Structure formats: C-alpha cells, structure tokens
Amino acid sequence: MPRPRVVITGIGALNAVGNGIVDFTEGLRAGRPGGAPITQFDASDSPVRIACEVKDFDVTTVLDRKSARRTDRFAHFAVAAAREAVEMARLDIAAEPDRIGTSIGSGIGGLNTLYDAHQHLFSRGIDRFSPFWVPALIPNMGAAFVSIELGTRGPLVASCTACAASSMAVGDAVMYIRNGMADVMLAGGAEAAVTPMGVGGFHGMRAMSTNNDDPAGASRPFDRDRDGLVIGEGGAVLVLEELTHALARGVPILGEVTGYGLSSDAAHVTEPDPTGSNPARAIRMALGDAGRSPAEVDYVNAHGTSTPVGDASETRVLKLVFGEEEARQTPVSSTKSMTGHMLGAAGATEAVIAVITINEGFLPPTINLHHPDPDCDLDYVPNVARAARPDVVISNGFGFGGHNACLVIERFRP
C-alpha cells in the first residue's frame, strides 16, 4: 500500500524582510535586507547594535490584549503566521479539530519573558512573580498557544533543537500525517531572541557580526569578509495536509513535502562536524525518503548563517552529497543574508521560501556576496534573484549540539 502523500495548502510568515507572504515574497525577489539598528532595547553600549527585527507588527491584529500581555513575543509570531497559513488554506478547523494537529519549534522560547523576570527578581525580589511567567517562558508555548487560539485538538508537539527546531517540526508533522495520527498539521517555528540576553549570549560565543556601521550588509553568507551571524526574529507556519483530504476540500496545492532526513554530528556543542559526513547523511536520507537522486535537485536553500566556520563547512557538505562538479552546477542560496538568523524559526521560514520559489518562479539571492571566499566556490545566486522554475528543492537546518535536518519540498504532481 503506498504511503500517504503530504501536501502544502497554506503558508504564513513574518520576519525582517516582510510581514505576510505577499510582502515577504516581494522582499525576497527584490533582495531586501532586513538588517537595521536594534530598536527593542538600548544597544548603544553593546558591541552588537544590529539585528533583523520584525517591523510594524501589531499583536492586537492576531490576539486580544489580555492574551498578548500573558504570552511572549515568540508566541505572538507563531499565532500570526498560523492564522495567515490557515486562511490561505481555507481550513475550517472547527469542522474537524480532533484531526488537525500543531507542531511548532523554537530554539529558545520566551527570552523576552526571561529577561523581564530577571529584572523583576533583582528589583523586587523573589516574591510576587506573575503566575503567567513560566507559561510564557517555556518553548512549547508557541505550539500550545496556536492550538489554544485556533482550536486544534490533534497531536500537539514542540521541537526544541536549536536552529534545526522548525525544520524538525515540519518533518515530524509529515510523519504524523503519514502514520495516520492526523489529516492536517500546522507546522512551523517562531523565535524572538533580540534581547540583551540573546545578543549578549551569542556575542559571548563570538558568533555575531559586529559590522554595526553597515546593518543591511552585515549578514553576508559565503563572503570572504563575513564575520558572524545577524540575529533575526519572526515566525513561519505551513499547513500540511494528507493529499486525499486536500483534494476532497478542493483547495489549491502549493507543493509537497516528499523527504525528511535527520542525523547527529556527535562532535561538539557548537561547531559543525569537521568531516561534513553527518550533515551529508541527513541530506542523503531526505533524498532517499523522497526517492530522488542529488542530480534531480534544482535548488538548495542553505543553512548559510554567515559564520566563517559554518558556511565553509556547508559547502563541503554539499560537495560530499552532489560531487564536486554537480555541486557547482546546483544553485544554492542563503536567505539568512536577508532575514538574518532566525534561530529556531529559520527552518520553517526557509521551507516557506522553498514553496515560494516553486510557485513564483524565481530563486532568492544571497545578498551582500561581493568578495567570494575561495573555500565557498558554489553558485550562491549572488545579489540578484534569478528566474527559474525549480521542481525539487532541499532546505537544510543545522543546530547547536549537532542536530542536522533536511527537507525535500517539490512541485506538486497530481
């Protein structure tokens, strides 16, 4: 018996490049940089004063004021993206709530809440903490709040695997549908780590760009002069649906998730596997799950964080999977050059980008790529979007601790 096919019927996203799919698509096509001076706190004394913040977001458009006050910013982003995706999919959740689940990943969770509580602790003491502090902080609350607000009662799960979290949230959701546990899953990720703790922590690891004089050009994956990531925030959700269920509803199908692969580096808490063999294994697993060969891949949305070690490592990984010559002929881009590194929300955002590329007929660029690194010698679609009609796209998500995930997303074939 053939396994169930899992198709995509809705997408939603908000990030530094655009609020909503229409704006986001226009920004990707234009190569719009999301980097700008930090506005969420006074960063004037910080060695890092830039980030890719969501702009002009009004939480009251997706949540009532009481609910918004009791939840963290990352959960606000999850609900906003989910509402957009559900609306696009024309999904009536109330008609079958028990068969619709939610899978939302976050690498850190309520970091704004944690910072505020830390300030409270030292200014007012341990007494009189808000009863909503812990529920707002914990990373599963993006998923939980989507379920509460939208009324899904199927599987409710939350992955917390660093920067691979929402890639895994999407891939795991595919497996729940394949296994018959749900007919529909709202799958994605959300993150809001532009806080003094978030910026200070990543700077302490020497992972962040300090190119404060050029916020728009600071995220520059694969460039010789890259000096670290630019932290980003936002959310992205896909409506995943078993094919016959989607056909019965008569809704447009935007694409299909055909492959999912996972592996562990088992090497280091932050640095990638120096051999590249374990991330490569996750990609090969995803392609095998999809029944595809590397030669059939039309475009790779790279993890591409703009860190000196990470970008060179991913280039080696792709050469292991595709072979030297084939790798150079396969377009690869890092959209983190525009969105910044959205941490746990990155994978779902880039899965949404894969859907956009398939439906809109272009490959998003790697902007700010002006001085190619000799160790990064692939076709990174530099600076300008490229007209194309990709049929098979892979999206990589690699996280601290050695989490490797890969998704294969394809043009839907009836």
d(CA 376, CA 310): 11
Which among 163, 376, 403, 406 is annotated as catalytic?
163
Residue 403 annotated to the active site: no
d(CA 394, CA 396): 7
155: helix, strand or coil: coil
Residue 265 CB-half CA count within 13 A: 23
Calpha distance 163→340 (Å, rounded): 12
Q: Tokens for 335?
A: 């959209």
What token pair was written down for 5? 């096919």
Take residue 132 and report the two structure tokens written for it. Answer: 């909503």
Catalytic residue of the set 52, 341, 376, 406 = 341
Catalytic-residue membership of 370: no
Q: What does the alpha-carbon distance between residue 259 and residue 409 come to, in Å, rounded to a whole number?
A: 7
CA–CA distance, 272 with 160 (Å, rounded to integer) = 18
Choosing from 303, 376, 403, 406, which is the catalytic residue?
303
Helix %, strand %, coil % of the chain (to 5): 40, 20, 40
Indicate which residues carry an active-site annotation.
Answer: 163, 303, 341
